Amino acid sequence: MSLLTPPQITGTAVRPGDRNFRFTTTVAGIAVLGVLAAIAAFLVWQSIPALQNNTGNVFTNQQWLPDADPPEWGIAVLIFGTLWTSLIAMVLAVPIGIGTALFITFYAPRRIARTLGFVVDLLAAVPSIIFGLWGLYYFMPQIVPAAQWLSTYLGWIPFFSNDLDLYTKSILIAGFVLAIMILPTVSAISREVFWQVPKGHIEASLALGATRWEMIRMSVLPFSRPGMISAAMLGLGRALGETIAVALILSAVFEINWQITEPGGNSIAANIALKWGEAAANGRSALIATGMALFFITLLVNMTARWVVNRRRDFSGAN
Amino acid sequence: MDLRSDIHAPLSPADDPLRLTGRRLPRWAPVGALAVALLVGLFVQLTQVTVLGLAPVVVVVLVFLLTYTGWTLAVEGRRHAADRFATALIFSAAILALVPLLWILVTVIYKGVTVLSVNFLFVDTMRNVNPRAAGGGVAHAVLGTLQQVGLATLISVPIGLLTAIYLSEYGRGRLARSINFFVDVMTGIPSIVAGMFIYTFWILTLGFPQSGFAAGLALTILMIPVVVRSAEEMLRIVPNELREGALALGIPKYRVIIKVVLPTAISGIITGVMLAIARVTGETAPLLLTTFLAQDINWNAFDGSQASLPTFIWDQIGRGTQSSLDRAWAGALTLILIVLFFYATARILAARYAPKER
Amino acid sequence: MPSAHRVSKRVIALGVVASALVISGCGSSTSVNPAIPAAEAAVAAGDVECVDGRIQAAGSSAQANAITQWVNVYQTACPQSTIDYQPVGSGAGVEAFLSEQVSFAGTDSAVEDEDMDAAIKRCGGDPAINIPLVGGAIAVVYHLDGVDSLILDPPTLAAIFSSEITRWDDPAIVALNPDAELPDAAIAQFHRSDSSGTTANFSDYLEATAPDAWDYDTGKEWTAPGGQGARGSDQVSASVAQTPNSIGYVELSYLIDAINTKPVAIDQGGGPVPPTAQNASITLASSTASGENGNIVLAIDYTTTVPNAYPISIVTYEIVCTTGLPDSQNPALVAEFLAFAASNSGQELLGQIGYVPLSGDLLAEVRASVDLVMKGAGR
């Protein structure tokens, strides 16, 4: 950088304009950090009342009665539901997202690749309430046969079984819609990672007679593995916090439900949307406590993902 | 390929000692396999014979994969079979990824156009509209959404842009690295958490009422990281020669940034801002916590309840009558049109001004 | 006092006609919806007194459609008035009232205890009162193809909704419906997944009438095991419509458009009673009101055996200041709006949209309370 500094002909004085401008930009940068810290601080602070007068164990209790007297609530059901729906979304979205990214990067002609990339990114611009509306009224009736098939033929696997013979509003359907919502995230980041694979590696393997798949398997995937993991985790981060679509689609019950084809399940974010309006002061404080848990979970997931990506960026000296 | 075949007529290509490539499937192999699969699918469809209860479409896909891979395995060997199998799967993934968007767009347009009209968009509100009756409009909600997103843009663009300038032009060392890192992390904050923060901070702690401005603040939290990230990327690709040239003329650095670097990157920055706007326009969850629904136009975003398109849709879904559901779909179409407008503008700008891709 | 003016009956009538002309003449110049049912124009002239200005109110979503109906009629008669009722939920509504953001709040259960203290403080130390203005009923709805009427008693209801009875051909159901062809199928039971006053009232009812069969908590959260959750009465109603062999509970107004869905007649000793506005109104009229100085808290007699009284009836309240509402929040408009709601025209409107009009002594008491608010506002 020192090369870029102009030679200081008039002495060492820093121009006041320069100093002020630099100061302003630094303050803006610090403000961004401050916002993040403030989010954590305010959520913790406002959730203290409900945490203090809770008569249930916050981690294990499976009730949601924060406005009862005495209040009794826990987040076990919510955390389980959040992770379970997001996991199903990941199982569906990650292979398809990576497949799409591979197609765009290595298979499609340039024109088609660009169009497809645009279209998949466009999916990210669809508001979540529209996913919810569409999922509830149009997607769900179409996907029910798939759920029925799973429980009929794979019902011997415990979480596919369906004792109720009802297949709507299930964790599986919520997972499907979430998968569609995180597909652009997974696909876009994988695409970016695949671009970073050194051309030399690709050409070398092709020159050695590898088929295209062998090239991908032996030079692209090993190089991109950390990037793909973080793409999946960033998708997970988005799925964890999705509110409206899940609130509209899932039949929320307050119990731990492994059965993914049956109605029932819950998530932290959807629970907030469902309970906020009728909650009294303590109920809101409890909901804020669950929001705090969601915040820290997504923070952890995102930090891990970013850390992996950044480490990769720093050390990918291959090109 | 078979240059010598006229000389050694009986020799089959596989036996040719000078041949470099193995036996290949004909070029029409994928189409052939697909034809076989479609025939089987047609058979299943017509005879209603079900294998393991699978739908005809699924049967077609499975039969195609089996025939295609099996055929390659027989003719070209294991390596090529794996290659073709993977290719088929990757193509399927790409096609599958296209389905939802098209499906959603078609659904929203099909359901939305019946109610949508100029009056619905720009004139009518829900004032005096009976939930069971048809009619009404989204003028109040469009206004609210534009004001709230506008306020969020007004706040987040300066902060985001300055942060981006700091990161690309000044920032070195630990502070810059951590800002850089946490901006990335902030892009992943769930929107309902942003709404909850503004609720606890602005409404509970500072005691302001729910308002359009509170919604704007929540959207700001979501917009800032997107603006920072895209603006910083744009600033970084401004060639260093430009900076050096200007600095060499003795121009102060801040003027170089304002007069040279920013104008060079401005189209890219605008693109990023547009994308950020498109992203937050459809956010529903934070608005549920920070605004009250209104049925009528409220020009003042700082006082009183103000509607917005996402909360309008949410409200209408919950009213549970056929006409309110129709209104919800028309609202959804309106929302998607607004979002796509921002998105398309951003993309067109980007395509026109972006530097060459790799 | 904000710009309040009394209007003679004739002026009101003219106003209604004039606004009707405006609507038909150039509908685009105002945002008034032309599709308001004709019944709304038939408001008895003396029941609406206009006050200009704007008030905000918020609260219960159970009474949203009732208030919307009143607001539409009132605003049509008084184009200079705006009443902004936001159905954000009882909790959020009361909270907004206590923090002085809204002029009054609608709530599914009467405001009491600490919240009442806070409400009095919010009204500048003057009394705050609950006024039950919107009556309703909870219908238990079922979807059984080929079964046109179904009778249940409280213990059976409680057993069904707590998953003790899980099949439609259970002897307890058969005994109550000897003639119905009940299928050999599992019962799909739906309840509200969001916090809701409807759930609170329904579980209160089960606890009061079938204490042996129902040993779960009452309150806004559904706590009994089993069954599926659905968000809002609209989704419960839609789920029952979509799911054969299902049962659920919704507000009466959701019966109007329902398909495939029929209401259960409740029999608690006085013969089976189907849910209708009229039948629920009988229960409300025979319930006992408590509270003093205008505050009315209704204890509904869930165990009623009065002929044709539909027992699962509810009222929802408005919490208001009698005096002490700051002028900036337009107490005159609040008072006049409540007076319209409690008037004959206001209550008749309720019956048309699936709510239950108040009647008899209860309505007289409600009007006395509204008069207190009117006096407080200097009307």
Instruction: Domain ranges for chain A, please list them.
Output: 80-315
ipTM value? 0.89
Yes or no: say if A281 and A48 are a contact pair by the CB < 8 Å rule.
Answer: no
Shortest distance, CA B345 to any CA of chain A (angstroms): 13
Question: Which residue in A has a C-alpha nearest to residue B180's C-alpha?
Answer: A29
Identity of the amino acid at A146 = A
Domains in chain C with CATH codes:
4-135+320-376 (3.40.190.10), 137-285 (3.40.190.10)
Interface test with B, best of A2, A22, A32, A275 (most B CBs within 10 A): A32
Query: How sure is the predictor about A127, in pLDDT bands with cuts at 50, 70 and 90?
Result: very high
Chains touching chain C at 3 or more Cβ pairs under 8 angstroms? A, B
Query: How sure is the predictor about A86, in pLDDT bands with cuts at 50, 70 and 90?
Result: very high
CB contact under 8 A, A153 and B329: no
H or E element at residue C82: strand C81-86
**Sign of the four-CA dihedral A9, A13, A14, A20:** negative
Q: Residue A99 pLDDT > 90, yes or no? A: yes
CB contact under 8 A, A128 and B79: no
**Sign of the four-CA dihedral B75, B81, B87, B88:** positive
Query: How sure is the predictor about C287, in pLDDT bands with cuts at 50, 70 and 90?
Result: confident
Shortest distance, CA A168 to any CA of chain C (angstroms): 9
What is the predicted pLDDT for the residue at C37? Answer: 45
Domain match, B311 and B232 both: yes
Domain match, B281 and B173 both: yes
Which of the residue ranges B19-33, B192-206, C279-293, C319-333 would you say has the lowest mean pLDDT? B19-33
For B272-293, the pLDDT digits (tens) are: 899 899 989 999 999 999 988 8
The CATH superfamily label for domain A80-315 reads: MetI-like (1.10.3720.10)
CB contact under 8 A, B190 and A124: no
Domain match, B76 and B203 both: no
H or E element at residue C267: strand C265-267
Bin B209: left if φ > 0, else alpha if -120 < ψ < 50, else beta: beta
Question: Which residue in A has a C-alpha nearest to residue B21's C-alpha?
Answer: A209
CB contact under 8 A, A280 and C94: yes
CB contact under 8 A, A280 and C95: yes
Q: Of C297, C259, C246, whose CA–CA distance to C131 is shortest?
A: C297
Q: Give me the residues paired with residue C356 across strands.
A: C135
What is the predicted pLDDT for the residue at B20? Answer: 67
Shortest distance, CA B159 to any CA of chain A (angstroms): 6
Tell me whether C269 touches chain B (CB under 8 Å): no
- Mean pLDDT estimate for chain B: 87
What is the predicted pLDDT for the residue at A7? Answer: 56
CB contact under 8 A, A39 and B225: no
Tell me whether B276 touches chain A (CB under 8 Å): no
CB contact under 8 A, B282 and A130: yes
If you average pLDDT over residues B257-261, what whole number do you get? 91
For B147-197, the pLDDT digits (tens) are: 999 999 999 999 999 999 999 999 888 999 999 999 988 988 999 999 999
Six-digit token string for A14: 């820093």
What is the predicted pLDDT for the residue at B11? Answer: 53
Shortest distance, CA C35 to any CA of chain B (angstroms): 6
Yes or no: say if C98 and C123 are a contact pair by the CB < 8 Å rule.
Answer: no
Q: Of C285, C338, C289, whose CA–CA distance to C309 is shortest?
A: C285
- When divided into structural domains, chain B yields a total of 2
Q: Residue A50 pLDDT > 80, yes or no? A: yes
Report the residue from B107, B190, B358 with minimal CB separation from A241: B190
What is the predicted pLDDT for the residue at B13? Answer: 54
Query: How sure is the predictor about A1, in pLDDT bands with cuts at 50, 70 and 90?
Result: very low
What is the predicted pLDDT for the residue at A11? Answer: 54
Report the residue from B124, B136, B292 with minimal CB separation from C86: B292
Residues in chain C: 379
B167 located within any domain: yes
What is the distance between the alpha carbons of residues C69 and C36, in angstroms, rounded to a whole number? Answer: 9
The enclosing domain of B277 has a CATH number of 1.10.3720.10
Tell me whether C24 touches chain B (CB under 8 Å): no
What is the distance between the alpha carbons of residues B107 and B329, in angstroms, rounded to a whole number? Answer: 9
**Under DSSP, is residue C51 helix (H, G, I), strand (E, B) or coil?**
strand
B215 vs B144, C170, C333, C371, CA distance in Å? 10, 52, 28, 38
Q: Residue A267 pLDDT > 60, yes or no? A: yes
pTM: 0.86
For B85-138, the pLDDT digits (tens) are: 999 999 999 999 999 999 999 999 999 998 888 889 988 888 888 777 888 899
Q: Residue A319 pLDDT > 60, yes or no? A: no
Q: Residue C21 pLDDT > 50, yes or no? A: no
What is the predicted pLDDT for the residue at C2? Answer: 44
Tell me whether C259 touches chain B (CB under 8 Å): no
Q: Which residues of C touch B320 (CB under 8 A)?
A: 232-235, 237-238, 254
Q: Residue C16 pLDDT > 70, yes or no? A: no
Q: Which residues of C touch B293 (CB under 8 A)?
A: 86-88
CB contact under 8 A, B201 and A42: yes
List all residues 6 or more positions away from B195 whose beta carbon is below 8 Å from its beta carbon. Answer: B218, B285, B286, B287, B288, B289, B290
Tell me whether B46 touches chain A (CB under 8 Å): no
Interface test with C, best of A278, A285, A290 (most C CBs within 10 A): A278
Q: Which residues of C touch B319 (CB under 8 A)?
A: 64-65, 234
Domain match, B204 and B70 both: no
H or E element at residue B325: helix B322-353
Yes or no: say if B292 and B305 are a contact pair by the CB < 8 Å rule.
Answer: yes
Chains touching chain A at 3 or more Cβ pairs under 8 angstroms? B, C
What is the predicted pLDDT for the residue at A5? Answer: 61
Question: Which residue in B has a C-alpha nearest to residue C34's C-alpha?
Answer: B135
Yes or no: say if B293 and C87 are a contact pair by the CB < 8 Å rule.
Answer: yes
CB contact under 8 A, A42 and B200: yes
DSSP code for B3? G
> Higher model confidence: residue B49 or residue C363?
C363
Shortest distance, CA B299 to any CA of chain C (angstroms): 14
What is the predicted pLDDT for the residue at C27? Answer: 32
Q: Residue A274 pLDDT > 60, yes or no? A: yes
Q: Which residues of A touch B165 (CB under 8 A)?
A: 25
Helices (H), chain A: 16-52, 76-102, 110-125, 128-134, 140-153, 171-195, 199-207, 212-215, 221-241, 244-249, 268-275, 281-315
Q: Of C155, C136, C140, C61, whose CA–CA distance to C313 is shortest?
A: C136
Interface test with C, best of B121, B211, B295 (most C CBs within 10 A): B295
Place of tokens 């008749």: C348
Domain match, B149 and B77 both: no
Chain B residues bordering chain C (beta-carbon distance below 8 Å): 119, 123-125, 127-137, 139, 207, 209-210, 292-297, 304-305, 315, 317-322
CB contact under 8 A, A279 and C195: yes
Q: Which residues of C touch B127 (CB under 8 A)?
A: 31-33, 75, 82
C295 vs A5, B24, B71, CA distance in Å? 77, 90, 84
Query: How sure is the predictor about C367, in pLDDT bands with cuts at 50, 70 and 90?
Result: very high
Query: How sure is the predictor about A313, in pLDDT bands with cuts at 50, 70 and 90?
Result: low
If you average pLDDT over residues B320-328, what whole number do you get? 86
% of chain B with per-residue pLDDT over 70: 92
What is the predicted pLDDT for the residue at C13? Answer: 43
**Sign of the four-CA dihedral C198, C201, C207, C208:** negative
Domain match, B63 and B160 both: no
B271 located within any domain: yes
First to last CA, chain B: 35
If you average pLDDT over residues C152-170, what whole number do you get? 93
> Higher model confidence: residue B306 or residue C256?
B306
Strands C265-267 and C151-152 turn out to be parallel
Query: How sure is the predictor about A91, in pLDDT bands with cuts at 50, 70 and 90?
Result: very high
Identity of the amino acid at C369 = S
Place of tokens 């499937």: B25
What is the distance between the alpha carbons of residues A120 and A22, in angstroms, rounded to a whole number? Answer: 39
Domain match, B97 and B246 both: no
CB contact under 8 A, C89 and A277: yes
CB within 8 Å of chain B, chain C residues 67-106? 68-69, 71-72, 75-76, 82, 84-88, 96, 99, 101
Helices (H), B48-172: 56-75, 78-112, 118-122, 139-165
If you average pLDDT over residues B192-218, what whole number do you get? 92
What is the predicted pLDDT for the residue at C171? Answer: 93
Q: Of B195, B239, B200, whose CA–CA distance to B220 is shortest?
A: B195
Identity of the amino acid at B150 = G
Yes or no: say if B90 and A113 are a contact pair by the CB < 8 Å rule.
Answer: no
> Higher model confidence: residue A38 or residue B188?
A38
If you average pLDDT over residues C278-291, what whole number do you get? 89
Place of tokens 């004959």: C344
Helices (H), chain C: 9-25, 64-77, 90-98, 113-122, 154-161, 171-176, 197-209, 232-242, 277-285, 331-342, 344-352, 360-376
Q: Which residues of B touch C31 (CB under 8 A)?
A: 123-125, 127-128, 137, 139, 296-297
Tell me whether A209 touches chain B (CB under 8 Å): no
Q: Which residues of B touch C86 (CB under 8 A)?
A: 292-294, 305
Q: Residue A48 pLDDT > 60, yes or no? A: yes
Query: How sure is the predictor about A80, in pLDDT bands with cuts at 50, 70 and 90?
Result: very high
Query: How sure is the predictor about A6, in pLDDT bands with cuts at 50, 70 and 90?
Result: low
Identity of the amino acid at B25 = L
Q: Residue C257 pLDDT > 80, yes or no? A: no
If you average pLDDT over residues C92-104, what whole number do you get? 89
Q: Which domain holds residue B271?
A: 139-353
State the DSSP string of C227-265.
SEEESHHHHHHHHHHHSTTEEEEEEGGGGSS-SS-EEPE
Tell me whether B337 touches chain A (CB under 8 Å): no
Question: Which residue in C has a C-alpha nearest to residue B304's C-alpha?
Answer: C56
Shortest distance, CA B24 to any CA of chain C (angstroms): 54
Yes or no: say if B63 and B36 are a contact pair by the CB < 8 Å rule.
Answer: yes
Yes or no: say if C377 and C332 are a contact pair by the CB < 8 Å rule.
Answer: yes
State the DSSP string of C109-143.
S---HHHHHHHHHHTTTS-EEEEEEEEEEEEEEEE
Domain match, B211 and B337 both: yes
What is the distance between the alpha carbons of residues C337 and C335, in angstroms, rounded to a whole number? Answer: 5
Interface test with B, best of C22, C29, C31, C328 (most B CBs within 10 A): C31
Strands C188-192 and C228-230 turn out to be parallel
CB contact under 8 A, B209 and C101: yes
Q: Residue C345 pLDDT > 70, yes or no? A: yes
If you average pLDDT over residues A199-225, what whole number do you get? 92
Question: Which residue in B has a C-alpha nearest to residue C84's C-alpha?
Answer: B294
B15 located within any domain: no
